[in-house]
Amino acid sequence: MLVGLIVFVHITQSRLRREDDREAAPRDQAAADGVRADREKGISGLRNLTHGLARLGPVLGRPLPLTLGVVLRYNTAVVHTFQMKTADTKHEWYIVDAAGQRLGTLAVRVARALSGKHKPTWTPHIDDGDFVVVLNAEKVELGGKKWSQKIYQRHSGYPGGLKTQTAQDVREKYPERLIERAVRGMLPTNKMREVQLTRLKVYRADSHPHSGQKPQPLPETIA
């Protein structure tokens, strides 16, 4: 069986060489395309067979003559990793209504839009996020007894300067801070976080001054 596989590899190599000769002088463009398609199929099959034979080597306890030159000769396709450039970035504008939405779920969607991780062109070291306008921050929801149990703390830096507030206290005075703090905690702690947070616009009511940017509804796919 092993001898038969090796013979098949050499036969396939010879057939690919003949197809190269046919492709060198095609009768017309259609014939050239057909020859190229057949050649790609043969290369794919030969590559799969070669990988299979490579796995048989350790099983048999000795290396196999896999004609590595064939793979190196025909495996010329190189896959390049895409890298977004800062000059090619584009920041879209989105709007979302926080009324009736859970704080954590909303913050996840907003953080992904700000960081740009919902885009297929996302690159870790490039800021390719979008602008997000959040309305009705005072109508956001928390589950259970979190309005009284969730604690926010800040310190002035001086002795005895610890300030403690419940989520209910924050909502009554500065409801925008609930969303801003939640989104901030979901962004990576790097130099881009502060830049991304500048694109977050949170408002207490349902009015905003960004109508000139024509923000679109935040897609449900961003979650």
pLDDT score for 189: 93
User: Which sequence spans correspond to the domains of the chain?
Assistant: 2-74, 86-217
pLDDT score for 57: 56
pTM: 0.64
The pLDDT confidence band at residue 60, using thresholds 50, 70 and 90, is low
pLDDT score for 82: 83
| Contact (Cβ atoms closer than 8 angstroms) between residue 179 and residue 202 | yes
Check pLDDT > 70 for residue 124: yes
pLDDT score for 69: 44
Closest Cα to residue 95, out of 113, 70, 69, 81?
113
Total Cβ atoms within 10 A of residue 175: 21
Amino acid letter, residue 119:
K
Top-level CATH class of 86-217? alpha beta
Check pLDDT > 80 for residue 14: no
Query: What mean pLDDT do residues 31-42 have?
Result: 62
Query: What mean pLDDT do residues 179-195 have?
Result: 95
| Contact (Cβ atoms closer than 8 angstroms) between residue 216 and residue 93 | yes
Check pLDDT > 50 for residue 66: no
